[in-house]
Amino acid sequence: MIKKKRLIGIDLFAGAGGLSLGARLAGIDVVLAIENEPNAAATYAYNHPKTRLIVEDVRKIKRIDIKRGNKKVILFGGAPCQGFSTSNQRTRNKENEGNWLFKEFIRLAKIIKPEWIVFENVKGIVETANGEFKDRILADFKALGYLCTDGTLCAKDFGVPQARTRYFIIASKNGVAVTMPKPLVNKHITVKQAFCDLPKLTSGANIDILSYRHEAITKYAKQMRGKRKMCANNLVTKNAKEIIKRYEHIPQGGNWENIPKRLMKNYKNYNNCHTGIYKRLDENKPSVVVGNYRKNMLIHPNEARGLSVREAARLQSFPDWYIFKGSIGFQQQQVGNAVPPLLSAALFKTIVVHEDIY
């Protein structure tokens, strides 16, 4: 970790805190966060006790008071992204009111006047409405006097065991051109390497804190686990018997297409399922995207069940000390919505290193 803290951070739409954790790993002192959803806010408060948290709708925030001192401010975050998701074609358009929440980010940037901005969203924002949202955001930042660099980064290239691609904008008030970070790893981390020491579970597992299965035997598992003897959030959605029966037909890397039609009679349009439905992870590859993994029914590579919250958190690169609050459904949503901390840390370090140089 970079020790100097020449930057203080403000996290908008903070969620469970994936971006904030990445900023902390990069040496940024995150002094303020705003999150409206109570369960995500509870998770954030528990894991970031030194950060002042405002539990409020961003649209109601009229002013923000922070002590800058001689430090520079980095404003970061990403408006809720479901409307831009490639898996959400129904509301992926200009008429979806939720797609315009990025304007609140712009509005607060005008008020705060940070030296740096990091804006994050799903890669679908590049394609939605022929790129109009992306172009509008870039134009608004430039109108405020920021020099922008933008692009997509894939989490698996930065030590995260997941093929998750996100869109980022780095904006500098001082006219500094900062390039996107280059991939940090040549060999991607697999699901097996991520899960190797986690508890053995069954469908409907509801004991929160459990001992590890055995010692961590991979570098990644050791990194996530530290010196802990037990881990929390070992909760798994309870599936009906007919769903578990479907799991038996799916090989690693397979999905709903491997399930006999006779077992899928409740699907009105069997041939039009999303590729992520009933996706069994391949243990020898990075995971597919961990989004709404309960709805998509991501399946454990070797067991007849969905993923636990802790397993999904491992795939997102949240360390095992990071505890998720709320009922299982809210925990799953928080993990699925988060930005992988190791990915965001690589991005923030690009800015921090620049500040240390100049």
pLDDT digit string (tens) for 285-321?
Answer: 999 999 888 887 899 999 999 999 999 999 999 999 9
Are both 348 and 311 inside the same structural domain? no
pLDDT > 80? residue 337 = yes
Domain identity same for 98 and 240: no
Same domain for 125 and 15: yes
Let me know whether 270 and 174 are in one domain: no
- Catalytic, out of 81, 148, 196, 231: 81
First to last CA, the chain: 19
What pLDDT does 100 receive?
72
Residues 85 and 201 in one domain: no
d(CA 32, CA 52): 5
Residue with tokens 């035997």: 217
Catalytic, 81? Answer yes
pLDDT at 121: 93
Band the pLDDT of 71: cuts 50, 70, 90: very high
Which of 54-58, 90-94, 127-131 shows the highest mean pLDDT?
A: 54-58
Where residue 3 falls among pLDDT bands split at 50, 70, 90?
very low
The three-point CA angle 101-106-110 to 5° equals: 145
Is the distance from CB of 170 to CB of 74 less than 8 angstroms? Answer: no
- Answer yes or no: do 154 and 15 share one domain: yes
Same domain, 83 and 205: no
Which pLDDT value is given to residue 4?
A: 53
Does 233 lie in the same domain as 87?
no
CA dihedral sign of residues 239, 191, 85, 19: positive
In a domain, 214, yes or no: yes
- Does 2 fall in a domain? no
Reported as a single tens digit per residue, the pLDDT across 117-171 is 999 998 888 877 677 889 999 999 999 999 999 999 999 999 999 999 999 999 9
Residue 93 has pLDDT above 70, yes or no: no
Same domain, 141 and 245: no
**pLDDT at residue 354 above 70?**
yes
Both 93 and 200 in one domain: the answer is: no
Structural domain harbouring 66: 7-183+339-357
Q: Residue 36 is part of a domain; what is its CATH number?
A: 3.40.50.150
pLDDT of residue 86: 46
Domain check: are 31 and 162 in the same one? yes
Under a CB-based contact definition with an 8 Å cutoff, are residues 42 and 325 in contact? yes
**Residue 115, in any domain of the structure:** yes
| The two structure tokens encoding residue 171 | 């904006």
Q: What percent of the chain has pLDDT over 90?
A: 76
Quote the number of domains for the chain. 2
Is residue 314 in some structural domain?
Answer: yes
Domain with residue 287: its CATH number is: 3.90.120.10
In a shared domain, residues 107 and 129: yes
